[in-house]
């Protein structure tokens, strides 16, 4: 038989040693390393906190008896009651709502319901038909007359109908719901979660990407480990050679069984999958991967592959698992929330229901992560207040840095920019994490212009030189202009690469998602629905021509508003020119810039609702189109609002109004204006923190966090608003003040649009106008530091949890960054030519020509910067290709075939690189020379193997079913219920039959006055017990005993003395909490109030869970002798039948072990017969000469000489509820 690989020299396998020895025989000098050198290597190779061991060493460890078994390291909390989403349904008082509430007609309801039900026309039509029936049955209203405007019903009545239907549909979809009625009765809270099986099915349908385990591809350092050299002096990579080894099927099964026994893999992976793994390469690949996982090899791969999830059992081991209070899971918090939201969206568009106030709120819950590793408290300590975290937990400024992974120390000077982006992504999703990754990258990139321009400002201050000085050549200023243009281009290219790193690390490459209609999207009033020319089904329709007309008129409005801004600022400069006659120039030079800076902020906040209204009027169908057009409207106005005053000052103020300095150069005015604009930004930020003001709510949230005593609620009278118990049906229950109620009271998450817009505009200020104020990058970097932490606090502590959304890029904001970089070319060229005094004596035409020359040079600089950025780094391309290769190899099982799939060919090549034709001839001769006797025996073993495989499949299915209802507690030795946490499933069934020699002639006992008392005791000291409370139920007492029948052989005097008593009573003792307990049986004489005797049964003696007949010795209180009465002295005994049932899992598990052992023996002897060897085990072959004749008298065969399968354990009753 083919044996398993034997470890050899210095941790290499026998395959590697044979290769090395063959090279040594060819005369390679200095072949290999000394054993001492290998020991040094073994001790020094430490990766990721784990010591590297060579393949042979790992194999020795797996085969040793000291190979540790895996215990479930997850802190599973069976009492956790975590839900992921919260639906808030209104439930106002019916009488008040009918008197003062809004009413609604069927026509409005039909339009609403058509939008609220996702899917094709059939689903929408079926939903409307259901609603029509319920409408007529509940409100006794004809839908036709209602459609004509005749009948209406209160909106609250519709809300109740929709609430019942939503709860019913979501429950039928497999979601788990928990309904809670607010104690004031005004709202119904419905918490929603999805079971793991439903999440896995949805992930499989959506092709949702999950991360592979690190051990699947541990990294280049792992694959390049070498301890020896070949004949040419090249290193022999042990791990690559190990991975190329192909196992025979029986070898693979044997290795998988060993891993299963060690607790390293589950029953699902304990054998080869015959259909899914047809060749050696398929099952060998999985065996090698499971061995690396079991050995916990050091992982240095920072970019593991991501692949579409599949429920196929042969691929389940590939996906990484995460600890959770709900047990080990394949899903991160963001995956769980995203998949749950997709399941909910299959049945209702809750955005439509919320928009029409049928449902108040639909939000993801922070409470879903309470008790886990990532909580709001964790983010508060490691993200918002970053100085509290250690250097190994604070993250890094960029995802591409190695410090982003836990365990890597962040450099001290990078800590202000560092963020735990991996954790942010795991909790909030890729879209939010990508924003903060961009914010951190931008702030970190500002360090370069901050250093350069601040140094230039210091240089001017120290030397006394200024850009206002006369002279045609200003090397510092010109150099800074080219530097800013090059920096803006390199920054944008760098961010494109960085977000590519993010997508690679987060598994978002080539992400595509089918968009749904926006909840606010409505059909045309003339034709709200039409037959789609694509799907031939009715769809909500809005003509593109109407949208184009609306876009045209809205563009005119935006242009007029932008022009109005320009006129207002021009009037302000005119006012400044007039004030120069009244006020001193120094005072007038600051009053008007201050007014401009304040108006910029005020106009931005005034225009935002206008932009949203205009964009809403265009009625976009998808959120992407809506956002892209909103970006255009906002920035068409904001560019004019933020930059027009600066452009007027730099290019027009000097020759039209005149500068404050009195000459035609307004560079000093530009410096003053830019400084004042940034000063106002900081002043408003500080005012928002200290005084409230009109700044964003995030700044207000920060002051509540820093000074909680300042946050007072005048409306709170100190009483708990949820003070009464109010119930509605059997499914509603009231709570005192649950955490999800507080979350529902937080402000809704507003999205990232305003945050992106604010930072992109700031980037424009830096790259376009920093020549006017050298300290602008420094102020911008300080603002980003503040903005980063304030936005983090607002997201963590002051808003509802956003629903995680996958994203690959920042979208159209990247285009705006390119726009800012392009505008920087023209503004910097204009400042050099028109604003400074470099070309003061040149004519207008000469200046115009100089402007075009400088502009072209700056464009050339920008193009060269893009050219020098090198695009996607080679290392990133290699990582992406490696990920694709790993997914193709492990999940899709595609290999680069070197040989044919003929197993005999591969086996021959492995045995000694012999000629392929020779292998085929040898195989054919072996098959032709097989005798019918051997063929029949192989056929017999094949039949037994099929039966064994069937039994294994059934046993594994039973094991999975049992694991869903119970979990085995190793400390107690008893299973506990999963459905009812804390409920032990141990149960003792005890039948007390009869007792002998309890009564004697000198001490007679009346049988009718004796009873058996049965109870459970635990001899373990209380402080060492792994459970709480008593070990079992309260004591149970039997009925009075009876005398034996008169036909008994006992003499009359002994019968009357109670020498034998018959109880014949069954006790059921449950729940029993530990297998270390004992059943204590006492025989009590209640007439004389005496204990006649006692005995015990150790539950460990009943570990086989089968019913046993026992004879127990009774210990009497005092020793008696019966010799003087003429009868032999006999001990008192008690006859009982007992059975201890404590787990359904263990018997099935043991049966799986026996079946796997039997299968291994069958496979081994089948191979022996094929190779012409004798079987190693005894079998009842049909042609066995030693087999007894069927017609002869059967004789017993010792069980040790025949191989069979132990019978399945006797069925037992289910555990008590």
If 0-12 CB within 10 Å is exposed, 13-18 middle and 19+ buried, where does residue 116 land? buried
Contact 415, 383 (CB under 8 A): no
The model's confidence at residue 1187, banded by pLDDT at 50, 70 and 90, is low
Strands (E), 53-148: 85-90, 103-105
243 vs 589, residue with greater confidence: 243
How many angstroms separate the CA atoms of 858 and 823, rounded?
Answer: 11
How many angstroms separate the CA atoms of 652 and 669, rounded?
Answer: 12
Q: How much is the average pLDDT of 57-71?
A: 64
The model's confidence at residue 24, banded by pLDDT at 50, 70 and 90, is very low
61 vs 796, residue with greater confidence: 796
How many angstroms separate the CA atoms of 841 and 826, rounded?
Answer: 21
Say how far residue 248 (Cα) sits from the centre of its chain. Answer: 37
Q: Which long-range contacts (CB under 8 A, 24 or more apart) does 223-228 make?
A: 225/45, 225/52, 225/54, 227/10, 227/11, 227/12, 227/32, 227/33, 227/38, 227/41, 227/54, 228/10, 228/12, 228/16, 228/20, 228/31, 228/32, 228/33
Tell me how far apart the terminal alpha carbons of the chain are, to the nearest angstrom: 51
698 vs 312, residue with greater confidence: 312
Nearest alpha-carbon partner for 33 in 228, 202, 211: 228
Quick: pLDDT tens for 823-874: 999 999 888 888 777 777 788 888 889 889 989 999 999 999 988 877 788 8
How many CB atoms lie under 10 A from the CB of residue 76? 15
- Give 1125's Cβ-side CA count (13 Å radius): 17
Q: What is the structure's pLDDT at 531?
A: 63
Structure tokens at 1127: 């009868």
How many angstroms separate the CA atoms of 416 and 1120, rounded?
Answer: 87
Structure tokens at 685: 């930020």
Nearest alpha-carbon partner for 990 in 1204, 861, 1145, 1136: 1136
Residues contacting residue 218 through CB under 8 Å, at least 6 positions apart: 292, 297, 298, 299, 300, 301
Say how far residue 292 (Cα) sits from the centre of its chain. Answer: 23
CA dihedral 12, 13, 19, 25 (to 10 degrees): 70
1068 vs 724, residue with greater confidence: 1068
Strands (E), 728-797: 732-733
Task: State whether residue 583 is helix, strand or coil.
Answer: coil
Q: What is the structure's pLDDT at 469?
A: 57
The model's confidence at residue 1065, banded by pLDDT at 50, 70 and 90, is very high
Nearest alpha-carbon partner for 517 in 108, 115, 113, 806: 115
The model's confidence at residue 811, banded by pLDDT at 50, 70 and 90, is confident
How many angstroms separate the CA atoms of 431 and 189, rounded?
Answer: 28
Over 50: is that where the pLDDT of 979 sits?
yes
Q: What is the structure's pLDDT at 646?
A: 85
Q: What is the CA radius of gyration of the chain?
A: 41
50, containing H or E segment: strand 50-51
The model's confidence at residue 1054, banded by pLDDT at 50, 70 and 90, is low
**Burial per residue of 380-413, b for 16 or more beta-carbon CB atoms within 10 angstroms, e otherwise:** bbbbbebeebeeebbbbbbbbbebbeeeeebeee
Residues contacting residue 1072 through CB under 8 Å, at least 6 positions apart: 974, 984, 986, 987, 988, 1016, 1031, 1032, 1099, 1140, 1142
Q: How much is the average pLDDT of 529-541?
A: 66
The residue written with tokens 């460890």 in the block is 61
Q: What is the structure's pLDDT at 585?
A: 63
Please tell me which of 49-53, 570-574, 743-747, 1045-1049 the model is most confident about, judged by mean pLDDT.
743-747
906 vs 276, residue with greater confidence: 276
Q: How much is the average pLDDT of 1124-1131?
A: 56
How far CA 846 is from CA of 833, 842, 924, 961, 969, in Å, comes to 10, 6, 95, 87, 89
Q: What is the structure's pLDDT at 1092?
A: 86
How many angstroms separate the CA atoms of 1152 and 603, rounded?
Answer: 74
How many angstroms separate the CA atoms of 1103 and 988, rounded?
Answer: 11
The residue written with tokens 């190990």 in the block is 242
How many angstroms separate the CA atoms of 969 and 1143, rounded?
Answer: 10
Say how far residue 467 (Cα) sits from the centre of its chain. Answer: 56
Over 60: is that where the pLDDT of 592 sits?
yes
Q: How much is the average pLDDT of 1156-1172?
A: 83
Quick: pLDDT tens for 1101-1125: 998 888 999 999 988 876 444 444 4
How far CA 985 is from CA of 83, 133, 239, 977, in Å, comes to 27, 48, 47, 7
How many CB atoms lie under 10 A from the CB of residue 637? 23
Q: What is the structure's pLDDT at 686?
A: 60
Q: What is the structure's pLDDT at 343?
A: 92
Nearest alpha-carbon partner for 1011 in 1088, 1070, 1077: 1088
705 vs 81, residue with greater confidence: 81
How many angstroms separate the CA atoms of 14 and 64, rounded?
Answer: 18
Q: What is the structure's pLDDT at 486?
A: 93
Over 50: is that where the pLDDT of 110 sits?
yes
How many CB atoms lie under 10 A from the CB of residue 550? 15
Q: Tell me how long the chain is.
A: 1217
DSSP 318: G
Q: What is the structure's pLDDT at 333?
A: 92
Q: What is the structure's pLDDT at 47?
A: 41
Q: Which long-range contacts (CB under 8 A, 24 or more apart) does 906-910 make?
A: 906/246, 906/280, 907/248, 910/15, 910/246
If 0-12 CB within 10 Å is exposed, 13-18 middle and 19+ buried, where does residue 842 land? middle
DSSP 316: G
Over 90: is that where the pLDDT of 326 sits?
no
Residues contacting residue 265 through CB under 8 Å, at least 6 positions apart: 256, 259, 290, 294, 317
Q: How much is the average pLDDT of 1020-1047?
A: 84
The share of the chain scoring above pLDDT 70, in percent, equals: 76
Residue ranges in 972-1122 assigned as alpha helix (H)? 1052-1056
Mean pLDDT lowest for which of 116-120, 917-921, 983-987? 917-921
Over 80: is that where the pLDDT of 1047 sits?
no
The share of the chain scoring above pLDDT 90, in percent, equals: 20
- Mean pLDDT, rounded, of the chain: 77
585-617 helix and 623-647 helix, angle to the nearest 10 degrees: 160
How many angstroms separate the CA atoms of 811 and 630, rounded?
Answer: 13
418 vs 739, residue with greater confidence: 418
Say how far residue 686 (Cα) sits from the centre of its chain. Answer: 38
Quick one: three-class SS letters along 1116-1183?
Answer: CCCCCCCHHHCCCCCCCEEEEEEEEECCCHHHHHHHHHHHHHHHHHHHHHHHHHHCCCCCCCCCCCCC
Strands (E), 349-443: 361-364
Nearest alpha-carbon partner for 1205 in 1145, 1147, 1148, 1157: 1157
Mean pLDDT lowest for which of 273-277, 330-334, 700-704, 1067-1071? 700-704
Q: What is the structure's pLDDT at 987?
A: 92
If 0-12 CB within 10 Å is exposed, 13-18 middle and 19+ buried, where does residue 809 land? middle
138: region left, alpha or beta (phi > 0 left; psi from -120 to 50 alpha): alpha
Quick: pLDDT tens for 150-175: 567 777 778 888 888 899 989 988 99
Residues contacting residue 291 through CB under 8 Å, at least 6 positions apart: 58, 62, 255, 259
How many angstroms separate the CA atoms of 643 and 687, rounded?
Answer: 24
The residue written with tokens 């004031």 in the block is 184
Over 60: is that where the pLDDT of 640 sits?
yes
Contact 1144, 966 (CB under 8 A): yes
The model's confidence at residue 902, banded by pLDDT at 50, 70 and 90, is very low
Residue 103, φ and ψ in degrees, nearest 5: -120, 160
Strands (E), 348-461: 361-364
The residue written with tokens 């006649």 in the block is 1092
The DSSP bridge partners found for residue 1012 are 1083
- Give 369's Cβ-side CA count (13 Å radius): 23
Residues contacting residue 408 through CB under 8 Å, at least 6 positions apart: 392, 396, 402
Contact 807, 431 (CB under 8 A): yes
Q: What is the structure's pLDDT at 735?
A: 44
Q: What is the structure's pLDDT at 1124?
A: 46
Q: How much is the average pLDDT of 207-229?
A: 88
Q: What is the structure's pLDDT at 88?
A: 92
The model's confidence at residue 189, banded by pLDDT at 50, 70 and 90, is very high
Over 70: is that where the pLDDT of 80 sits?
no
Quick: pLDDT tens for 284-311: 999 999 999 988 899 989 999 999 999 8
């Amino acid at each position: 038989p083919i044996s398993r690989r034997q470890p050899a020299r210095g941790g290499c396998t026998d395959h590697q040693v044979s290769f090395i020895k063959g090279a040594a025989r060819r005369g390679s000098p200095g072949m290999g390393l000394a054993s001492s050198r290998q020991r040094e290597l073994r001790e020094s190779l430490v990766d990721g906190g784990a010591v590297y061991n060579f393949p042979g060493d790992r194999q020795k460890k797996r085969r040793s008896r000291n190979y540790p078994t895996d215990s479930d390291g997850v802190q599973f909390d069976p009492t956790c009651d975590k839900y992921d989403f919260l639906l808030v349904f209104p439930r106002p008082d019916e009488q008040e709502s009918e008197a003062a509430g809004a009413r609604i007609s069927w026509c409005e309801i039909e339009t609403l319901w058509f939008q609220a039900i996702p899917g094709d026309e059939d689903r929408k039509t079926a939903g409307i038909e259901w609603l029509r029936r319920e409408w007529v049955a509940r409100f006794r209203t004809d839908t036709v007359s209602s459609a004509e405007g005749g009948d209406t019903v209160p909106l609250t009545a519709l809300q109740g109908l929709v609430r019942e239907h939503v709860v019913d549909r979501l429950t039928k979809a497999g979601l788990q719901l928990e309904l809670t009625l607010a104690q004031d009765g005004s709202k119904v809270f419905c918490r929603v979660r999805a079971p793991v099986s439903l999440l896995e099915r949805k992930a499989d349908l959506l092709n949702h990407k999950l991360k592979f385990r690190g051990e699947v591809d541990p990294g280049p350092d792992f694959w390049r480990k070498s301890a020896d050299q070949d004949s040419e002096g090249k290193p022999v990579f042990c791990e690559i050679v190990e991975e190329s080894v192909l196992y025979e099927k029986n070898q693979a099964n044997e290795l998988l069984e060993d891993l299963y026994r060690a607790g390293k893999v589950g029953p699902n992976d304990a054998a080869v999958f015959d259909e899914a793994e047809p060749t050696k390469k398929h099952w060998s690949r999985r065996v090698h991967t499971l061995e690396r996982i079991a050995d916990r090899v050091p992982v240095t791969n920072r970019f593991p592959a991501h692949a579409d999830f599949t429920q196929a059992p042969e691929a389940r081991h590939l996906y990484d698992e995460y600890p959770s209070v709900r047990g080990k899971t394949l899903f991160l918090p963001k995956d769980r929330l995203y998949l749950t939201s997709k399941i909910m969206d299959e049945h209702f568009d809750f955005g439509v229901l919320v928009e029409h106030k049928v449902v108040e709120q639909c939000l993801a819950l922070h409470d879903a992560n309470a008790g886990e590793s990532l909580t709001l408290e964790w983010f508060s300590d490691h993200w918002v207040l970053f100085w509290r975290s250690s250097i190994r937990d604070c993250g890094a400024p960029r995802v591409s840095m190695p410090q982003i992974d836990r365990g890597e120390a962040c450099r001290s000077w990078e800590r202000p920019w560092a963020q735990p982006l991996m954790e942010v992504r795991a909790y909030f999703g890729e879209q939010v994490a990508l924003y903060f990754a961009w914010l951190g990258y931008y702030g970190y990139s500002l360090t370069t212009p901050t250093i350069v321009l601040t140094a230039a400002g210091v240089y001017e201050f120290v030397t006394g030189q200024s850009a206002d000085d006369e002279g045609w050549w200003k090397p510092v200023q010109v150099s800074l202009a080219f530097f800013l243009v090059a920096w803006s281009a390199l920054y944008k290219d760098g961010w494109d690469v960085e977000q590519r790193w993010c997508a690679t690390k987060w598994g978002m490459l080539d992400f595509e998602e089918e968009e749904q209609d926006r909840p606010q999207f409505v059909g045309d009033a003339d034709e709200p629905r039409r037959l789609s020319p694509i799907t031939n089904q009715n769809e909500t329709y809005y003509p593109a021509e109407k949208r184009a007309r609306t876009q045209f008129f809205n563009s005119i409005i935006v242009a007029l508003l932008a022009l109005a801004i320009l006129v207002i600022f021009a009037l302000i400069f005119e006012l400044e020119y007039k004030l120069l006659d009244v006020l001193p120039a120094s005072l007038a030079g600051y009053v008007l810039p201050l007014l401009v800076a304040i108006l910029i902020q005020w106009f931005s906040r005034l225009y935002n609702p206008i932009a949203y209204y205009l964009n809403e009027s265009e009625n976009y169908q998808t959120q992407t189109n809506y956002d892209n057009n909103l970006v255009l409207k906002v920035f068409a106005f904001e560019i004019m609002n933020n930059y027009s005053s600066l452009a007027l000052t730099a290019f027009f103020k000097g020759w039209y109004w005149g500068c404050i300095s009195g000459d035609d150069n307004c560079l000093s005015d530009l410096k003053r204006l830019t400084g004042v604009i940034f000063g106002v930004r900081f002043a408003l930020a500080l005012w928002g923190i200290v005084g409230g003001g009109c700044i964003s709510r995030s700044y207000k949230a920060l002051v509540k966090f820093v000074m909680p005593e300042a946050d007072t609620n005048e409306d709170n009278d100190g009483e708990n608003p949820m003070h009464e118990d109010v119930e509605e049906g059997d499914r509603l229950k009231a709570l005192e003040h649950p955490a999800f109620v507080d979350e529902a009271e937080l402000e809704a998450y507003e999205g990232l649009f305003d945050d992106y817009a604010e930072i992109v505009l700031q980037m424009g200020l830096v790259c376009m106008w920093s020549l006017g104020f050298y300290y602008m990058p420094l102020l911008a970097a300080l603002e980003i530091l503040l903005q980063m932490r304030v936005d983090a606090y607002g997201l963590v502590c002051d808003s509802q949890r956003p629903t995680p959304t996958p994203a690959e890029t920042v979208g159209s904001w990247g285009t705006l960054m390119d726009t800012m970089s392009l505008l920087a070319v023209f503004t910097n060229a204009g400042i050099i030519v028109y604003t400074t005094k470099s070309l003061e004596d040149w004519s207008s035409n000469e200046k115009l020509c100089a402007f075009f020359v400088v502009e072209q040079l700056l464009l050339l600089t920008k193009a060269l910067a893009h050219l020098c950025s090198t695009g996607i780094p080679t290392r990133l391309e290699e990582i992406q290709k490696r990920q694709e290769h790993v997914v193709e190899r492990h999940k899709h099982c595609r290999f680069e075939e070197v040989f044919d799939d003929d197993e005999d060919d591969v086996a021959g090549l492995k045995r000694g690189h012999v000629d392929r034709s020779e292998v085929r001839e040898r195989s054919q001769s072996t098959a032709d020379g097989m005798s019918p006797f051997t063929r029949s025996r192989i056929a017999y073993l094949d039949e037994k193997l099929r039966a064994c495989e069937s039994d294994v499949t059934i046993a594994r299915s039973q094991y999975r079913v049992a694991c869903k209802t119970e979990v085995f507690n190793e400390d107690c030795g008893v299973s506990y219920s999963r459905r009812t946490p804390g409920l032990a499933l141990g149960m003792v069934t005890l039948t007390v039959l009869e007792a002998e020699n309890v009564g004697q002639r000198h001490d007679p006992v009346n049988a009718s006055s004796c009873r058996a008392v049965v109870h459970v005791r635990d001899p373990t000291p209380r402080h060492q017990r792994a459970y709480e409370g008593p070990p079992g139920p309260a004591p149970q007492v039997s009925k009075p005993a009876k005398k034996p029948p008169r036909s008994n052989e006992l003499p009359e005097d002994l019968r009357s003395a109670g020498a034998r008593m018959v109880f014949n009573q069954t006790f059921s003792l449950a729940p029993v909490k530990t297998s270390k307990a004992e059943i204590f049986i006492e025989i009590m004489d209640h007439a004389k109030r005496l204990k006649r005797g006692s005995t015990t049964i150790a539950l460990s003696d009943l570990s086989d869970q089968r019913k046993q007949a026992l004879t127990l010795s009774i210990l009497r209180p005092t020793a008696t002798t019966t010799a003087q009465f003429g009868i032999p002295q006999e001990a008192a005994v008690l006859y009982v039948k007992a059975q201890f049932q404590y787990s359904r899992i263990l018997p099935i598990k043991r049966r799986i072990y026996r079946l796997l052992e039997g299968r291994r023996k069958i496979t081994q002897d089948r191979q022996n017969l094929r190779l012409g060897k004798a079987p190693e085990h005894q079998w009842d072959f049909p042609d066995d000469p030693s087999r007894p004749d069927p017609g002869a008298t059967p004789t017993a065969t010792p069980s040790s000489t025949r191989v069979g399968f132990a019978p399945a354990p006797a069925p037992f009753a289910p555990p008590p509820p």
